[in-house]
Amino acid sequence: MEFQTNPDIRFITNEAFEAKIKQIEIEMYHEQVLPKRIVAAAPESVSATGLVEVAGYNPGEGIRMDRKEQVIVDFGEHCVGRVSLAITSLGSPPDAPAKLRLSFGETPIEVIRSFDSYKGELSASWLQEELLTIDVLPETLELKRRFAFRYLKIEVVDTSPKYQINLKLSCTTESSADKAKMKQLDTDDQLLQEIDRVSQKTLMQCMQDVFEDGPKRDRRLWLGDLRLQALANYATFGANDLVKKCLYLFAAQTTNEGQVSANVFIEPRLIPDDTFLADYSLFFIDTLLDYYRETNDRETLTDLYTTAIAQLRVLEDNVLPTGEVSVPQGWWAFIDWNEPLEKQIAIQGIFIYSYKRLKELAAYMEDNKLVDELDDKIQTLEQYALTTYYNEEKGLFVDPASRQIAIPSQTWMVLSGVGDGELRRNVLENLLALDDEQIVGCNSPYMYHHYVEALLQEGFREEAVRIIKLYWGGMVENGADTFWEVYYPEDVTFSPYGDEMINSYCHAWSCTPCYLFRKYGIA
């Protein structure tokens, strides 16, 4: 696991932007969700998810529990919100506090396994847990933290031999997405309908004060996620002010040179993270362009145009006169969770893609000088890509040193519009003809999104739908009520962090089928 720390970075603040952010009001929507049933861990042979129903949940009755007892409550759907517990006692007056341990899980594994068994590389503090000591009963507790969960394991650490407790639970959800705007996909294909529903729900759960990457983890605004969330949002909830707020959040504090951070914190105040990713910085351009096209909000475009150009400028040193993007060692660009992947070609593609998008912004701004400058740069970058990476014989983009053929490389070359349409369609056709063992594929839903979009862009509609059904449909078949940060069809327990419990099971970058369906008329 690699972490960037850049202790010497100093950020400059645009106070006008910070003032604008304060004026953007984000409406929050709430719903009350009650438990649906009591479940218990079961042998794998009995239940694919690892849990089976053992009792119903009657909201009027609640759950009666003895000391040392444990139950797993299933709320029936993924919830993001505040949990309240109404706790009463039965028997003698409570002569000792009631002590409860609550463990929240987006998935069964988080409530089946003990958090003590966690062995991952990310902070164990993301595992959602509360230890409650209640001195006086009855009491209704409104838990202060927001949780993302479907399952809640409750362990009565102890009461006393003289009394039992009764619990009534509820969750008040929180989202800045108006659920009333969720639309059913107009198709008879039930799997596509379900994929569409789950992708909209995924987006909704991640829409909070900002577009979060995941409501369980990292609960934070990342640029790479924002870009895709914004697209899905335009196709569904239309909370455009939330996109605007997020764009200003990135622009309000940048490095001296104007680079935006890969992600920002908004509490206790706006703080950009000291992590920078070349692709994420460049995607500020694309996100601003999409926003402007959706809203025609000229004021925002004018405000943030300089920030968009700054992303070009801060990364320009990495573009050699030959047109090669020189990629430094280390965690410089994200692209995908993919150790064997040679990222060079994909990065080249993202530069070309972003330069083209910036050129469009410059055109809207009637900044002809920049349009001309970019025309030259794009040509050089494309020329380099075609001469150095495009392999005529194979009809594919091939890493010159390792001879690696990778889906991310083809994807970003296609999305960036390198070559003519025939070349790009040939590339995809040749790629589809290869066996899995011959190529480096996609790992994250984020990379799958780009691959599918490249296919759709070039008209490979049937193949795109097949992949969506296999990949996002695979999560649905594995019980997903929201789409996951990580999904390896060949190993559903895989985690890039060394422990599946820490994976986010409601993750923004997986929410795009609802966008792809509508953008490309799949129904």
Query: What are the Cα distances from residue 196, in Å, to 199, 216, 503?
Result: 5, 22, 22
- Sign of the dihedral through C-alpha 176, 510, 422, 390: positive
Q: Which window, 71-79, 97-105, 224-232, 319-327, contacts its own copies (CB under 8 A)?
A: 97-105
Closest to 278 measured CA to CA, from 221, 350, 225: 350
Selected binder of its own copies within 8, 22, 45, 136 (CB under 8 A): 136
Instruction: Decide if residue 135 touches its own copies (CB under 8 A).
Output: yes
SS3 407: helix
**220 or 469, CB closer to its own copies?**
220
Angle in degrees, 0-180, between the axes of helices 368-384 and 344-364, rounded to the nearest 10: 160
d(CA 358, CA 318): 17
Token pair of 206, please?
A: 């991640």
d(CA 221, CA 210): 6
| Rounded least distance, CB 22 to its own copies, Å | 18
Torsions phi, psi of 87, nearest 5?
-115, 125
User: Looking at the DSSP assignment, which residues form a beta bridge with residue 33?
Assistant: 171
**93 or 330, CB closer to its own copies?**
93
Angle in degrees, 0-180, between the axes of helices 223-235 and 240-252, rounded to the nearest 10: 160
Instruction: Decide if residue 273 touches its own copies (CB under 8 A).
Output: yes
Selected binder of its own copies within 30, 64, 119, 145 (CB under 8 A): 145
Selected binder of its own copies within 43, 60, 268, 521 (CB under 8 A): 268
Token pair of 81, please?
A: 């919100």
Instruction: Decide if residue 93 touches its own copies (CB under 8 A).
Output: yes
d(CA 422, CA 411): 15
- Sign of the dihedral through C-alpha 381, 382, 383, 386: positive
Selected binder of its own copies within 25, 267, 299, 490 (CB under 8 A): 267
**134 or 169, CB closer to its own copies?**
134
SS3 152: strand
Question: 415 with 379: CB under 8 angstroms?
Answer: no
SS3 11: strand
Selected binder of its own copies within 32, 58, 114, 133 (CB under 8 A): 133
The residues in 200-219 that bind its own copies, with binding defined as CB under 8 A, are 217-219
Instruction: Decide if residue 330 touches its own copies (CB under 8 A).
Output: no
Pattern 448-487, binding to its own copies, x per CB under 8 A? ----------------------------------------
- Sign of the dihedral through C-alpha 493, 496, 501, 506: negative
d(CA 361, CA 18): 23
| Rounded least distance, CB 327 to its own copies, Å | 24
Instruction: Decide if residue 96 touches its own copies (CB under 8 A).
Output: yes
Token pair of 275, please?
A: 């992590």
d(CA 458, CA 464): 10
Token pair of 475, please?
A: 């999560």
Question: 301 with 307: CB under 8 angstroms?
Answer: no
Instruction: Decide if residue 521 touches its own copies (CB under 8 A).
Output: no
**3 or 462, CB closer to its own copies?**
3
Selected binder of its own copies within 265, 331, 488, 520 (CB under 8 A): 265
Q: Which window, 272-280, 288-296, 411-419, 446-454, contacts its own copies (CB under 8 A)?
A: 272-280
Instruction: Decide if residue 498 touches its own copies (CB under 8 A).
Output: no
DSSP state of 58: -
Instruction: Decide if residue 220 touches its own copies (CB under 8 A).
Output: yes
CB atoms within 10 A of CB 441: 15
**Binding residue count for its own copies, defined by CB under 8 A:** 46
d(CA 487, CA 472): 9
**496 or 513, CB closer to its own copies?**
496
Pattern 151-190, binding to its own copies, x per CB under 8 A? ------xxxxxx----------------------------
Selected binder of its own copies within 36, 37, 67, 466 (CB under 8 A): 67
Instruction: Decide if residue 69 touches its own copies (CB under 8 A).
Output: no
| Rounded least distance, CB 355 to its own copies, Å | 31
Selected binder of its own copies within 34, 86, 124, 439 (CB under 8 A): 124
**135 or 392, CB closer to its own copies?**
135
**94 or 258, CB closer to its own copies?**
94
Q: Which window, 233-241, 270-278, 424-432, 443-451, contacts its own copies (CB under 8 A)?
A: 270-278
d(CA 195, CA 478): 12
| Rounded least distance, CB 211 to its own copies, Å | 17
Pattern 2-41, binding to its own copies, x per CB under 8 A? -x-xxx----------------------------------
Instruction: Decide if residue 48 touches its own copies (CB under 8 A).
Output: no
What ranges make up the beta strands (E) of 23-181? 32-33, 37-41, 51-56, 63-65, 70-91, 98-105, 128-134, 139-142, 147-158, 163-173
Selected binder of its own copies within 57, 75, 104, 126 (CB under 8 A): 126
**144 or 369, CB closer to its own copies?**
144
Query: What are the Cα distances from residue 35, in Å, to 134, 172, 375?
Result: 22, 12, 58
Interacting residue ranges for its own copies, rule: CB under 8 A: 1, 3, 5-7, 67, 91-99, 122-126, 129-131, 133, 135-138, 145, 157-162, 217-220, 265, 267-268, 271-274
